[in-house]
């Protein structure tokens, strides 16, 4: 397999798997939030928080006092709704950015979809009749298509 083909195969299947994982994360994030927070060790400093909730992932930096790292799963009591918009804030004591999961999802879908289409196109060009897609493997390169009678270009 040529290296370009291998990269394409990786994008095609890797993108599909990542899309499924993103979709699964979106569904799970409807039921509750996963919050991971690390705090400064000795004195007041930045706390790094990463969360997945309501269909979005967020990263935040907040000024905080020392505490042990926290990992919390917090089930939602109310409703089933998703966040669709990007949001961010930059203050002296708070830096925050939130990205809805549909954005990486769309990216993975596009990357995988493009690789998929290119694969199909090459497949047709290689072993299949360009006009009727009949499998030409085993035929002489110049032989007309046994299915539709067209000669290969
Ligand atoms: Zn044909």
Partners of 8 in beta bridges: none
- The average pLDDT across 107-135 equals 84
CA 41, CA 39: separation in Å to the nearest integer?
6
Backbone φ, ψ for residue 16 (5° rounding) = -65, -45
**Ligand 1 centroid to 134 CA: how many Å?**
5
Number of other CB atoms surrounding residue 51 within 10 Å:
19
**Ligand 1 centroid to 11 CA: how many Å?**
30
Bigger pLDDT: 148 vs 152 = 148
Which percentage of the chain shows pLDDT scores above 70?
A: 95
Only one residue has tokens 């899309």, namely 19
Q: Worst-scoring range by mean pLDDT, 8-17, 84-93, 111-120, 133-142?
A: 133-142
CA 10, CA 122: separation in Å to the nearest integer?
16
**Ligand 1 centroid to 147 CA: how many Å?**
5
């Amino acid at each position: 397999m040529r290296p370009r083909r291998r990269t394409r195969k990786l994008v095609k299947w890797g993108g599909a798997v990542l899309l499924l994982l993103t979709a699964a994360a979106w569904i799970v994030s409807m039921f509750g939030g996963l919050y991971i927070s690390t705090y400064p060790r000795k004195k007041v400093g930045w706390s790094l928080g990463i969360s997945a909730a309501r269909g979005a992932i967020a990263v935040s930096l907040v000024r905080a006092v020392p505490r042990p790292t926290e990992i919390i799963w917090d089930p939602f009591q109310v409703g089933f709704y998703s966040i669709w918009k990007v949001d961010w804030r930059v203050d002296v004591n708070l830096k925050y950015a939130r990205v809805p999961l549909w954005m990486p999802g769309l990216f993975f879908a596009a990357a995988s979809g493009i690789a998929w289409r290119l694969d199909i196109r090459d497949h047709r060009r290689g072993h299949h009749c360009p006009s009727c897609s009949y499998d030409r493997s085993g035929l002489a390169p110049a032989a007309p298509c046994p299915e539709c009678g067209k000669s290969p270009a």
